[in-house]
Amino acid sequence: MGKFAAGGIFAGLLGIDQAVKQYIEENYDEEREEKTKIPGVLLRKFYNKGLIFSSFEKHSGLPLKVSLIGTGVIFLADVKVFFCKGRKLCKAGLTLVTAGAISNTYDRIMKGAVVDYIGYDGKHKLLRSLTANLADFYVVIGIMLAQLGRGKR
């Protein structure tokens, strides 16, 4: 994956997540849940002031610091990998991770919380209590791709 292709994909992924977050913020209140055409998937609005699974939400400033440091580390990995030849799968994964990290870090800086909007509609109480966003999926899928592509030229 070339640097320009990765840049375009990065911008597109970031734009999609931010556009959906804006739509959810403007059109949903925190009481509204709506089923989607995808079985088991709900749309709802949740402001996550913590880290993953709302952890550390009571530790003022810590989630932002962790997000900034994590995004910085990811950026350094991007610089290292994108100046190497090959490693397309790793580059694709890092593009996803970077888009997700920057989108959520932007929310933390601008809103003091990350806007989550994808919920699960099922019988399992723990899973039903979780809410995520596209950026979270970018990070998870990106980490898997980067690991699969690690060391491969």
Q: Where are the domains of the chain?
A: 3-149
| Interval 25-73: pLDDT, tens | 999 998 899 999 999 999 999 999 877 766 566 667 877 888 899 999 9
**Nearest-angstrom CA–CA distance, 39 and 6:** 32
pLDDT more than 90, % of the chain: 62
**Nearest-angstrom CA–CA distance, 61 and 140:** 24
Supply the pTM of this predicted model: 0.87
Burial class (CB within 10 angstroms; exposed 0-12, middle 13-18, buried 19+) of 108: buried
**Nearest-angstrom CA–CA distance, 108 and 95:** 20
